[in-house]
Amino acid sequence: MYPLFESIRLQDGKLYNIPFHQERINRSRLQILQLGTLLNLKEHLEKYEMPCKGLFKIRVAYGEKFDTAHITSYVPRSIHSLQAVFTESIDYSYKFTNRSSLEKLAAQSNADDIIIIRDGLITDTSYSNIIFKNSSGWFTPATPLLRGTQREYLLQAGEISECRIEFTDLKSYTHCKLINAMMPIGDAPEISVADIIK
C-alpha cells in the first residue's frame, strides 16, 4: 500500500524543489508510518528517462518504499472563480492519496475551486496553497491544511510572508494566487479577491 504521494515539477529536463519534497517524505514516513529509514527520492527518479522538453508532472506514491513514478504532460487547471467553503473538521496535514475529504468540500461549490475556511481561518484551496496580495507584498495563511513544497520554497526565499488570515481579513487584500509544486508564483494567474464568492 502506498498511502502518501508527491507531485514533482519537471520542466525542460529540470526537476524542481527536490530537497523540499525529500524533507516531506522523510517527515511523513516518520510521523505517519513510524519509519525512520530514509527513501532517497533523487536516486529513485534517476531510474527513469526524463523528457528534456516541455512541462511534466511526476507523481510518486510511497509508503514503506516508492511505487513506480508516473510522468505525464501537465496542463494547469484554468481557475477563474473561487468560492469560500466553511468547515470545522477537515484535516489534511499530510499528502495522502485519499483526498475524499477535500473532494466532498469541493463538490459543495459551482466555482472553479474553493477556499477552505476552517474555524474562521483561511487555509488552502482544494488542491493548492494560496497567497494574498496587498500594498506590503504577498502573504500566505499561517494555518494551511498542507505545508506545500512551493509554499515552503517561497517562504525560505523571502518572496512571501506567513501571517494569520481570518476570513473577515479578506477585505485587506486585493488579489490572490494559487500555488503548488506544479504552479510557481510566476505562472499562477492573479484572481481578484473582490470576485471570491462568499
- What's the pLDDT tens digit per position in 134-156? 999 999 999 999 999 999 999 99
For residue 72, give the nearest of 90, 53, 58 by alpha carbon.
Answer: 58
Question: What is the mean pLDDT of the segment spanning 186-198?
Answer: 92
The pLDDT value given to residue 34: 94
The pLDDT value given to residue 174: 97
Query: Could you give the CA distance from residue 112 to residue 135 in angstroms, rounded to a whole number?
Result: 27
The pLDDT value given to residue 145: 97
Amino acid occupying residue 146: L
Give the domains, in start order, of the chain with CATH numbers.
4-73 (3.30.470.10), 82-195 (3.20.10.10)
User: pLDDT tens-digit profile of 10-25?
Assistant: 999 999 999 999 999 9
Q: What one-character-per-residue DSSP string does 24-64 give?
A: HHHHHHHHHH---SPP-HHHHHTTSPPPSSSEEEEEEEESS
Confidence band (pLDDT; 50, 70, 90) for 89? confident
Q: Does residue 79 contact residue 30 with C-beta atoms inside 8 Å? A: no
Q: What pTM does this model have?
A: 0.94
Cell matching residue 198: 462568499
Amino acid occupying residue 56: F
What's the mean per-residue pLDDT of the chain?
95
The pLDDT value given to residue 1: 60
The Cα angle at residue 101 between residues 21 and 65, in degrees rounded to 5: 35
Amino acid occupying residue 91: D
